[in-house]
Amino acid sequence: MSEETAVVHRVKSTNCASCGKLIRRKEMYYRNGKYFCGKRCFKKMQEKMAQEGAGSAN
Ligand SMILES: [Zn+2]
């Protein structure tokens, strides 16, 4: 008996790449392959990345 397994396509909850907050679909802000809870967090992340890039801690 081959029973077809129903593939449940669950939408993975997305967290903000900047603050880690769970993002609602409505608030989703997608930029550069990352999700943010808002434009503010996107800007925050950009600043952080720019600092890391300039500082080169490694
Ligand atoms: Zn955020």
Any domain includes 3: no
Instruction: For 1-58, write each residue's pLDDT tens digit.
Output: 666 766 665 667 899 999 999 998 888 999 989 999 999 999 999 999 899 887 655 5
- Distance (Å) from CA 54 to ligand 1 centroid: 23
Helix (H) / strand (E) containing 47: helix 39-55
> Which residues constitute the domain of residue 47?
14-58
Look at residue 2 and tell me if it is in a domain.
no
In a domain, 51, yes or no: yes
| Residue 8 belongs to some domain of the structure | no
> In whole angstroms, what is the distance from residue 25 CA to residue 48 CA?
24
Q: What is the pLDDT of residue 40?
A: 95
Distance (Å, whole) CA 1 – CA 47: 57
- Whether residue 31 lies inside any domain: the answer is yes
Number of independent structural domains in the chain: 1
Distance CA 31, CA 19 (A): 15
Residue 28 forms part of a structural domain: yes
Phi-psi label, residue 32: left if phi above 0, alpha if psi -120 to 50, beta otherwise: left
In a domain, 33, yes or no: yes
The Å distance, Cα 14 to ligand 1 centre, comes to: 11
Distance 5 CA to ligand 1 centre (A): 37
Cα 7 from chain centroid (whole Å): 24
- Ligand 1 centre from 42 Cα, in Å? 7
